[in-house]
Amino acid sequence: MGRRVVVVGAQWGDEGKGKIVDILTEYADCVVRYQGGNNAGHTVMVNGEKIILHLIPSGILHPGKTCVIGNGVVVDPATLLDEIEMLSRMGRFRHEDLLISKDAHLIMPYHKKLDAAKERLRGSQRIGTTGRGIGPAYEDKVSRCGIKCGDILNEEDFRGKLKINLHEKNQYIAAILHEKGYEVHDIYHDYMNYAQKIGRYITDTSLFLSGAIKKEKSILFEGAQGTLLDVDHGTYPYVTSSNTVAGEAATGSGIGPTVIDTVVGVTKAYTTRVGEGPFPTELEEKEEAKLREMGGEYGATTGRPRRCGWLDSVALRYSARINGLDGLVLTKLDVLDALPEIKICTSYRYNGSDVREFPTEPRILEKCKPVYETVEGWMAPTHGIKDIEGLPGKAKSYIKRIEELTGVGIFIVSVGAERKEAIFVKNPFA
């Protein structure tokens, strides 16, 4: 009997979801990416080979698994084609394994220009976007003037929508940015060229998934970024432009929420954040640099150094509630192997009061001081350990404490970058 499992980031993104999706794909028939764009990167290590994906689901590394880019994703066709070419060179791509929703929106050249310009105009109030056009593409989607992947399959429709959009965008670019706008024929030519190359993948993926569910296929839904970057439930405005929580798996894939069986949240054994915004457990510069180097904490998409801090159980409890988590995946436990002591944030202090619920308002969160509980480090290698009982006693105590603080059990513990370096406590597809 098929099962439907959602894998969601339980922190500020970069939790190691790519590896977990790659591992769990073995038990799935289909893997669906349901939101975000190429502002997110999933890094997977396979036999010592580092593979970074931005749009195509990590499941593509398993031949014979259908990988779906859902309607909730915004697609940069140039980036998509680069990924297809990269995977093809590596012998890891089969055309029949990829489907793209006809209702997924396209990122256009003017989206990228507007993204960078708006961030520049914000000055000190910048959000920290990647400048890849994701936000403006979602803006057009909500404004009902976006262009969908299915639109490039009809030249007349595409040209008409593009012409209307450029009339507005070019005026903004000229008046506000004092730059030259775009010509219809240039973008038209480029996107018709893209259509020839990706048109074979574009289809009604909602209908496809409905059929897969009726056939009792197992489906894995893959989120990008993390819960605390959700446009509704994150630290707004320091968030991404889409819904990153588990509920979006239904909306962004075109399925009913009642077909989802299990929601799994991925969290590091500590916490990181990229970009601007409050971060209560962020370490002082010297400690932060040490943890960053130990964990290799640099963005897969941008290469930006990640901000690093201790595990924040207040934020993790919030994530568990918002997503309805059935279980947690704990990644990068091995990064903490050499630390004599480890801290866990159990609550915040705000205006002299103890705060145990996560405040999403940046003006409050930035004034919250973490209240720490210190635990002894295990000072022994966890790398390569195959079962939970084989872990050092103090590492098991750390895991148990996380379960106690969050109220959610651990499903998987990752103790290295490779596929096989993961300890299964419970398989969500079992």
DSSP 368: P
Displacement of CA 46 from its chain's centroid (Å): 20
CA–CA separation, 312 vs 304, rounded Å? 22
Share in percent of the chain as helix, strand, coil (round to 5): 40, 20, 40
Single-letter amino acid, residue 216: E
CA–CA separation, 197 vs 232, rounded Å? 35
Contacts of 236 (CB under 8 A, 6+ apart): 360, 362
DSSP-H helix ranges across 199-260: 205-214, 248-251
CA–CA separation, 56 vs 58, rounded Å? 6
CA–CA separation, 269 vs 271, rounded Å? 7
CA–CA separation, 307 vs 303, rounded Å? 12
Residue 220, helix vs strand vs coil: strand
Instruction: Compute the residue count for the chain.
Output: 430
**φ and ψ at 45, to 5 degrees?**
-105, 120
Of 60, 55, 59, 66, nearest to 7 by C-alpha is: 59
Q: Kind of pairing, strands 327-331 and 410-414?
A: parallel
CA–CA separation, 315 vs 356, rounded Å? 9
Q: Kind of pairing, strands 353-355 and 311-312?
A: unpaired
The dihedral over CA atoms of 324, 325, 326, 328, expressed in degrees to the nearest 10, equals: -170
Cis peptide before 237 (omega within 30 of 0): yes
Q: What residues are annotated to the active site? A: 14, 42
Q: Kind of pairing, strands 219-222 and 4-9?
A: parallel
Single-letter amino acid, residue 45: M
Contacts of 145 (CB under 8 A, 6+ apart): 161, 164, 165, 168
Of 33, 8, 27, nearest to 408 by C-alpha is: 8
Which H helix or E strand runs over 307?
strand 307-309
